[in-house]
Every structure is written in structure tokens, then in C-alpha cells.
Chains A and B, each alone.
Chain A
Amino acid sequence: MRSRFFFLACVVALSVSARAADPVESDFYKIEPFTLPDGLVAEVGSIELLPDQKVAFGTRRGEIWIVEGAMGADVSLAKFTKFAEGLHEILGLAWKDGWLYVTQRPEVSRLKDKDGDGRADLFETVNAGWNITGDYHEYAFGSRFDREGNLWATLCLTGSFHSSAPYRGWCVRITPDGKMLPTCAGLRSPGGVGFNAAGDAFYTDNQGVWNGSSALKWLKPGSFHGNSEALRWWDEKVMGPKPLESVSGTRITAERERNPLFVPPSVILPHDRMGHSPTGWDYDTNGKFGPFKEQLLVGEQTYSTVDRVYLEKVNGIYQGASFEFLKGFQSGLIGVRMAEDGTFFAGGSDRGWGSRGGKPFDFERVRWTGKMPFEIHEIHAQPQGFELTFTKPVDVATAKAAGSYDMEAWTYIWQSSYGSPEVDQVKPKVEVISVADDGLSVQLKVAPLTKGHVHAISAKGLRSKDGEPVLHPTGYYTLNEIPNP
């Protein structure tokens, strides 16, 4: 009885829908897990590209493996060789001038294979300027090099609330001559650190104290990010005047006005909606990975997904939109890396923090199939609303229909306790819609716009010119600043 009804319902649904099946992510991006040798526990914490098409990854167990053939046609033919072991939880790798720089829990080290037998034999300490107390939570994530040759490291708090030793809850830079520059304070639980195409540094912070939701944050040198515990290591002789301590129970906008050194989260990755734990990211420099050149592709540990972030600068402050991008990875992603040829590597672990992927660890790669997905490409804040750009021309009729769009806006409580519900909900209305002649962008006049709120813009009713729905129809725009007219 039930199955016949279901069959009937399917027939009705099919006849209503314009297409036999809507496109799915795998039509556009193919995820391929590598075949790992026995005994390789690939709890990948960081991935780096080496010369000669080799790829290196570091693991939570303190091993470094080198992969040959990782970009080859047949993923199962890749060859894995152990380069180093016995290091302490590797969450950063960077290659420079024949050295592999490793950010591990106690220090930044650099490794070299002097005798050419394929294994590292020189383990030089570059800088051990921060301290560790023996608390498991004191992770250290390391970037690659910025344009001045500095390596940035973000240092987790002690036990997720406190700063029991110097530079817990900080971002520090390690200069090319091995000196440490304390750079930003007030971080909570970084999951990754790196740069955007403009060369500015960012990190992902995880929901918790002073973090109503996880977010991508701009590491503007000298900036403060909320956790006052870290301010005990702020030396005014080096860093200038100290930021004010955070006041609990307010809002990010109020805190910005009160505390000038506080830099608001650039792009919020709304908790529960997008994930629970953002980690590392990378971006496509040349367009070989599809239409999202220079957008940040951010790993998500809990959801085993990759999110997509578009950044823009308004009134001197970074902000922008986050989108769902790709799901179905096998474990909780921690390290990711984009190769020149458009191969995106991703790996991670679910140890201690569960993930949806279901496997304890993974190392995988993603490639663009060459087919163009229909996606919101960018969202730009405008004085009276938002401009949405698309990867393919839109269908003008659905693009002009107010019913194609839905909006919500909210913010989070700025507080010393863990996380925050979504609060101060607003229902913005799309009042005027104009579609560009080329069909590649839509301007929405929206009222009201609320400074500091996340504005969720959903284009569920929109179709492309060739009839496809938007693959991921919702963008979450963090409106730190409303552009001046």
C-alpha cells in the first residue's frame, strides 16, 4: 500500500519538475580517497606541496609522509614514504629552500634530508618561544610563509578557557631569522591559519567562549579577538596600548565601538547550519579548480565538509559570505592544500572530536570535472542591499520573482560563556530586484540592513537560464560594515 503511494508521488513529482534529476555536487567535483598502505594512520593535520610533484602531510601522531603520484590519473597508484616520525602533533607544514618547516606542539622546527636516503635527519628548532603546560588542548597551528617570509602560528588556549602559559590564545609570527613576534591576542581555539590572495592573514576560530559561532577572523597585526585571559602576556612596550578587557553579555557591534583594537569576525560560519569546527583552508590561484578562483575553501572537522568563503573589504574591515561547498569526506577534515594543477588535497581525523564522515582518518583529493555548477559566486554588500553574482546566467523570470528569495538575519551574544544562541532575529525583505543584462548578477534592495548581523540570503526559487536550481542556494553574509552610498 505504502509503496504504491510512494510510486505515485514520484510520478507526480517527476512530471512537475522540469528535469529528471537536479544536479548534485559529484557532477562537478569528484572526491577520491587515496589507498593507504597498512599501518599508515593518516590523521592528517597539515598538507604541503614539495618540488617534483610530491605532496607531504603531517599527522597528529607526529609523522610526516611523502606522497608520490598524488596528482596521477589513478589515485590508487600513489606511493607513500615515511619522511619523519616522533614529532609532537603536526598541525602546520611549509616548504622553503630545501627545508620542510613543521609547526608542532612545542615549537616550529625545520627538517632536512641531508644524506638523501628519503628520511629527515636534521631537525632544527627554528623557534620555541611559546610555552606549553602539558595540557592536551594547547595545539599549535602553523601557516606557510607570508610575503615577508614570516610563518604565522596560532596557539590554542589551555583547556579551552585559560591562558596558563605565555602566548596561549595568541597568534605569533616567526621571522625568517627565527625571532618570534607576538602579533594578535584573544584567540580561543584556532583550527587553521593562512592567507587570502591579497596576502592578509586569517584564522578559523571554533565556537566557545567569546565565540557565539565559529568564524574566519582577520589576523590584523596588533588586533584583539575577545579572550581577555590572553592579555596577561600583552607587553605594551612591544605591542602598544593594551586592548580593553571584553565585556560579557553585549554584542560584537557594541564591543567594536568600545574596544578599538577588537577586530570583528570577518565571516561567520553559522554554528549548526554550516558546521561545528572549521579548520584549514586554501584557494585556487589560477582557475584550474573551477569558477571559485581565490575564494577560500575551508575544511570542516565535525561535518566532514568543505565550505566556501568569499571575502571583501568594506570601510577597511574584512567581511563576506560563507557557503556550503562539498560534503562527503570520510573523516573530520583538518588539513587541506590546493595544488597548481587544480588538485585539492584534504585529510583529517575524528579522534577526540567526532565527525560525520565516520572513518577515523582520511587523505583524499578533489578535482573539478569541468562542468559548471550553478552557484551564487559572490555576495557584495551594497548601501541598500546585496549584489549576488552567479557562475552561470540566471533565468530572468525566476530571478525577478520576489518569491525566489528568502532572507533571515541574526547575531550572537558576545559572552564569556560557551557559544550563543542566534539572537536579535530580523526578517529583512527583498524590496526591489534588478537583473544584469548578462544575467550573471542580481541586485537586491533589502530592508532593513542590520549592521553586525549575519544576513542569510537564500535563492531557492532561482533557476539558471538552462533550468538548474542553485546547487547551494544559501549564502551567509556577515555585515560588519554597510558601505556608504
Chain B
Amino acid sequence: MRRSIFLLLTLLVGVPLGLAAKEVKVTVKTKVAQMKYDREVIEVEPGDQVEITLENVDDLPHNLVVCRPAAEGANDKGMAVAQMAWNLGELGMAKAWIPDTPRVMVHTKLVNPHESDTLRFTAPDEEVDLPFVCTFPGHALLMNGTISVARPLPPIRNLHYRYYLPAKGDRYKQLPDFSKLTPVEEGQMPAGKVDISMHLKEKKGSFAYVFEGTLEFPKDGEYEFAVGSDDGNELWIDGKKVSEHNSIHPFSVKKKKLKKQKKGDHHIELRYFEGGGQKQLYLGWSGPGFQNRPLSEGALDAGQLQSEEEKFAGMPLVVRDEARLYRNFIEGSSPRGIAVGFPGGVNLCWDADQMNVVMVWQGAFVDAKRHWTGRGAGNQPPLGYGVVRTGEAPQHGVARISGSDADWPAADPKDDWKSGDYRFQGYELGERRFPVFRYEYAGVKVEERFEVTGALKDGTLKLRRIVSLRGDGDAADLFFLAAAGKVTAVDGGWALGPAREVLLKVDGAVPVLRAKGNELRVPVKLTHGEAQISLSYEWPVVAK
């Protein structure tokens, strides 16, 4: 029903181009502790009266700033505008982080947590991409999207079908060689949408179709076709096979990206067969400024088009005033990962195979849906943002090596059981359920505890990790591995992560950054059998 109304609207609005400007009302929500808007593309037509309400369900303030395109015309996702806001420095708060620049077209106010604000504007008369972004410092990289101002997409032109049936008593098990077959029926499909419903009432067990037509790509750029079928299909664009799933199978969707496509007409051909039983065919496409537009008739429920990430979202473990632990398969850790979410929006994963922190991140903790539905297969990535791996290879947290430049012993996760030198001893939950991890290595007892200070929203958030070691003898060749991989020496410490998201400081010893593997090693000197290393992880959000 909704579809037919949509079709009607498209016809009414689309045929007499842009004459009837319409009202478009959109609500954009923030995602809790994930530093994202809940939609990245808003599709409107030239001349539309657009109303966007920003509903801020997050615990940090956000805004939504609609930007005119950058001078060079490219979609910069509003980054230049956000940078200008950042550059406001101490003046920023007073200006609600809105810089004086003609690129700002319209904006909401700075929306406090659990409030909302609405902006209105008239879409330009020409087709254009308008980036929108949150200009609150530190948010823009993840909080952005595009308002696509574009005329409605035409359906497939000159869409022609050929319908085939197998020989009597036979059935198709894969796509037949259509060049050797004569269709039992053929004709035009003026609606321009692929449709297999017209012959379903004949209740043929097995059949096949070839659909051919012309599809106009509205712009130069990248396109993605989604083809779903029960049973098999092949999609051909401009005489080249771009996607196939040529077998008997339940309905499933395959997606294929086509890069660097030229604006203009392209030949499209979809081949399909049904072997018997359940039958379904879906064709859809995404391109510059539009997403998941169907090119076929026949309903497809939202779940069938969901990506893996979407399927496993929906059971976030919320951290309140106590730390929360989650032992399961965490992406970026060995299978013995223990994720810890601290109050205040800082999280880490402590790996009980490697005996080390392997990841830190901000914002939301973990979504448990992948592991708490179905059989629970697979690794779950963190739910928050700013994920920084503090190591690359599987390496243990402490080791005895013959000098600061010797190779760190490899820790093969599959062979870890053989290494009797490392023993995980568990953890204790202290005040506010903060964990203290304990393990033993070659006679040295190691204990790690954590403190969280400051707050995410003003850039003072700090995670302290205090590593205490106790052992007999001098243990002169004992080292602690503070970080490895993306480690850069900066003022006052070491920057971690691809975008230098985290500033790591080390107290109590002088670390050595070994060039090979970028390993930040801390020599451990036991005094009266004891040593302590204090690390702090900081997220400098606002430029001071």
C-alpha cells in the first residue's frame, strides 16, 4: 500500500519536474555513546520545503549544521566547517560552535542531552549534495551525513521480459543457456520494475526469466546493486556479468559495488530461475545520493536487506555507575578477551591469553546481541568509537628478554597452552566493581588496577592503569610492553592509534620505543622485589 502511494507521488512529482514542491519532515536522532547520527543520507528533491529535527538522545551536546558544498564542489562531509568551529577555541562555547562562514547554510542550536531542535530550509533548485555535520569539537569525523538534493530516479526504461519453462517433467537446477531456448512468452513492462508475480498464479514449479532494459545512472560515481533471489540469478550491466548466485538456495541478497561509473544510460539484464518451492526476486540499487532504491516489485522486509552489523545491533550493555565486564569473543582480542566498561565512557579489553590491554575505546561499551541470540558465533567489535588497538601482534604483557633490543617472544594464541610461564589468575572487583587483573609469569606476580578521572565531554577523561610487579631476585631482564603498532613519540608521551586518538603517558620508568614493531617497552627494575608502572590514557578532545 505504502509502496503504491510512493509510486503515485513519484509520478505526480516526477513527471512535471519539480513543479509541485513538497514538504519533507525528517527526524535525525543521535546514537547513544556512539558519536553517530542515526541516518547518514537524507533524500529530498529540488525546491522541497525541508524540516529537520535533531533529537539528541545521547549524553553529550550535539548540533546539526547543514553546509553548502565546498568551493571545489566535492563533498567534504563538512570537515572544513567543523575545523573552523574547532579553531574557535575558547570562543567556541559562546558561539555554540557555529563558525562565521558562508558555508553554513542553516543549523540547529547546540542541543543539550535529551532535548531537540528543528531547522527549516528550502532545498536548492539544482541537484546538489549538502553535507551535514556536528561541529562540537571532536565529533565531526563520525557525526556527519549528506542531504542529497536530486530529482526522482527514473525506473528501468524499455524493460522487456522473456519467460521460460523447462521441458515437461524437468526443472531448472541452474540458469539454462537462454540462447538455445525459446521463451514461452515475452513482452514489455511499462512500470519499469522487475516483476515475477505475473506468472505465479499459474503455479508452475520451475521457471526462468530474462529481464532487459536501460537504466540511467544520474551521476558519475560509485553504484551498488543488491540482488536477492530464491533460487538463482545473474546480473549483467553493459554486457558484463557483475553478480551471480547461480544455484538452488533460500532467499539471500548479494551486493556488488561498481566503481567509477559514468553518468548516463547503461544496459541492464537480470537472469533468474526458480527450481521449485519458495520463490522470490529482488533488485535494488544505491548510488551517489540515494540508497536501497528498489528496481523490482514484491515486498522485501527490512531484515532481509540488513547488513551483518545491523543484524547484531540492539542489545547494548549499558554501563552506569559501576564498571561492567563482558567475557566473550571480542574483535581485536584473543578468544579469552575480557571487555571492561568503566563509568564515564571509557572502555578497554584485557586479553587473558596475552595478559595485556589490547584495546581501548570511548563511548558505548559492547552490544551483546551477536552472542546472546542464536548460537552466538563470531567476534563482536566494540560499540563505542575511537577504538585504538594498543598492540598489533599477539604479545604478552611482560617478558624476560636479553636486553631492550632483543625480540619480544611471540605468543601464538593457538599454542598458548604450552607456555607454562604465563598463568592467568583471575580478577577481583573492587570499589565500584573496578577489576584488578592478576597473573603470574616466571615467578613474577603481576597485578593491574585502573582508575578513571575527568569526563568525556570536556576532554579531561583519563584512564590510569597501575601495574604492580612482585618477584624474587633482581629479574634484571624483565620488560613490560606498554604498547605496540601505531605508536608515535609526541610531547609529553606517546600517541596511539591511526589518528593519534590516545595520548599515553608512562610514570615510574623510562620506556624505550623500539623501532622494529614500534614496541614501547618499559624496563622493570624490582626494588626489594617490587616495582610499579603507572600508565595513563588520555583523550585530548578540545584543542587548548
Q: Is A327 an interface residue (CB 8 A)?
A: no
Q: Is the CB of B336 within 8 A of A106?
A: yes
The verdict on A125 contacting B426 (CB below 8 Å), with A131-B416, A132-B336, A133-B414 known, is yes
Q: Given B335, B427, B430, which contacts A132 in the complex, CB threshold below 8 Å?
A: B335
Q: Is the CB of B425 within 8 A of A124?
A: yes
Q: Is B408 an interface residue (CB 8 A)?
A: no
Q: Given B372, B424, B428, which contacts A128 in the complex, CB threshold below 8 Å?
A: B424
Q: Is the CB of B336 within 8 A of A123?
A: no
User: CB-nearest residue of chain A relative to B322?
Assistant: A119
A135 to B378, CA, bound (A): 7
A87 to B326, CA, bound (A): 7
Q: Is the CB of B414 within 8 A of A62?
A: no
Q: Is the CB of B327 within 8 A of A104?
A: yes
Contacts of A123 in B (CB 8 A): 426-429
Q: Is A232 an interface residue (CB 8 A)?
A: no
Q: Given B327, B329, B378, which contacts A62 in the complex, CB threshold below 8 Å?
A: B327
A156 to chain B, nearest CB (A): 12
Q: Is B389 an interface residue (CB 8 A)?
A: no
Q: Is A77 an interface residue (CB 8 A)?
A: no
Q: Is A80 an interface residue (CB 8 A)?
A: no
B82 to chain A, nearest CB (A): 37
Q: Given B335, B374, B377, B426, which contacts A109 in the complex, CB threshold below 8 Å?
A: B426
Over the window 417-455 of chain B, the binary record of Cβ atoms lying under 8 Å from chain A Cβ atoms (1 yes, 0 no) is 110000111111110010000000000000000000000
A353 to B425, CA, bound (A): 34
User: CB-nearest residue of chain A relative to B439?
Assistant: A125
The total number of A-B Cβ pairs within 8 Å is: 83
Contacts of A121 in B (CB 8 A): 428-430, 433
B442 to chain A, nearest CB (A): 17
Contacts of B379 in A (CB 8 A): 134
Contacts of A114 in B (CB 8 A): 428
User: CB-nearest residue of chain A relative to B334?
Assistant: A134
Over the window 334-356 of chain A, the binary record of Cβ atoms lying under 8 Å from chain B Cβ atoms (1 yes, 0 no) is 00000000000000000111000
A105 to B336, CA, bound (A): 9
The verdict on A86 contacting B375 (CB below 8 Å), with A121-B428, A128-B352, A131-B417 known, is no
The verdict on A351 contacting B373 (CB below 8 Å), with A86-B325, A87-B327, A128-B352 known, is yes
Contacts of A41 in B (CB 8 A): 372
Q: Is A242 an interface residue (CB 8 A)?
A: no
Q: Is B316 an interface residue (CB 8 A)?
A: no
Contacts of A89 in B (CB 8 A): 376
8 Å CB interface, B370-388 against A: 372-379
Q: Is B62 an interface residue (CB 8 A)?
A: no
The verdict on A351 contacting B374 (CB below 8 Å), with A88-B327, A106-B336, A121-B428 known, is yes
Q: Is B118 an interface residue (CB 8 A)?
A: no
Q: Is the CB of B327 within 8 A of A86?
A: yes
Q: Given A124, A134, A352, which contacts B335 in the complex, CB threshold below 8 Å?
A: A134
8 Å CB interface, A91-142 against B: 104-107, 109, 114, 120-125, 128-137
Q: Is B245 an interface residue (CB 8 A)?
A: no
The verdict on A131 contacting B414 (CB below 8 Å), with A86-B325, A106-B352, A125-B424 known, is yes
A168 to chain B, nearest CB (A): 11
Q: Given A85, A104, A137, A353, which contacts B325 in the complex, CB threshold below 8 Å?
A: A85
A128 to B430, CA, bound (A): 23
8 Å CB interface, A49-79 against B: 60-62
Q: Is B324 an interface residue (CB 8 A)?
A: yes
The verdict on A136 contacting B427 (CB below 8 Å), with A88-B328, A131-B414, A165-B414 known, is no
Contacts of B326 in A (CB 8 A): 62, 86
Q: Is the CB of B425 within 8 A of A125?
A: yes
Contacts of B418 in A (CB 8 A): 166
Q: Is the CB of B374 within 8 A of A352?
A: yes
Q: Is the CB of B414 within 8 A of A106?
A: no
A266 to B336, CA, bound (A): 35
A353 to B374, CA, bound (A): 8
Q: Given A120, A128, A132, A352, which contacts B376 in the complex, CB threshold below 8 Å?
A: A352
Q: Is the CB of B416 within 8 A of A136?
A: no
Q: Is the CB of B335 within 8 A of A133?
A: yes
A68 to B326, CA, bound (A): 26
Contacts of A60 in B (CB 8 A): 376
Contacts of A128 in B (CB 8 A): 336, 352, 423-424
Contacts of B327 in A (CB 8 A): 62, 86-88, 104-106
A471 to B396, CA, bound (A): 60
Interface centre among B352, B368, B424, B426 (most CB of A within 10 A): B426
A133 to B415, CA, bound (A): 10
A368 to chain B, nearest CB (A): 36
The verdict on A124 contacting B426 (CB below 8 Å), with A351-B373, A351-B375 known, is yes
Contacts of B377 in A (CB 8 A): 135-136
Contacts of A88 in B (CB 8 A): 327-328
Q: Is the CB of B376 within 8 A of A136?
A: yes
8 Å CB interface, A349-407 against B: 351-353
User: CB-nearest residue of chain A relative to B325?
Assistant: A86
User: CB-nearest residue of chain B relative to A109?
Assistant: B426
A136 to B426, CA, bound (A): 22
Contacts of B423 in A (CB 8 A): 125, 128
B173 to chain A, nearest CB (A): 24
Q: Is the CB of A61 within 8 A of B374?
A: no
Interface centre among B327, B328, B352 (most CB of A within 10 A): B327
Q: Given A130, A136, A164, which contacts B417 in the complex, CB threshold below 8 Å?
A: A130
User: CB-nearest residue of chain A relative to B428?
Assistant: A122
Interface residues of A (CB under 8 A from B): 41, 60-62, 85-89, 104-107, 109, 114, 120-125, 128-137, 164-167, 351-353
Q: List 12 A-B contacts (CB under 8 A).
A: A60-B376, A61-B368, A62-B326, A62-B327, A86-B327, A86-B338, A106-B327, A120-B429, A121-B433, A122-B426, A130-B417, A136-B375
Enumerate the 8 nearest inter-chain pairs by beta-carbon distance, A residue then B residue, closest first.
A352-B375, A86-B325, A136-B377, A88-B327, A125-B426, A134-B335, A124-B426, A132-B335
Known pairs A88-B327, A128-B352, A128-B424. 19 more at Cβ < 8 A?
Answer: A41-B372, A62-B328, A85-B324, A85-B325, A105-B327, A107-B424, A121-B433, A122-B426, A123-B426, A123-B427, A123-B428, A125-B423, A125-B424, A131-B416, A132-B335, A132-B336, A133-B414, A165-B414, A351-B375
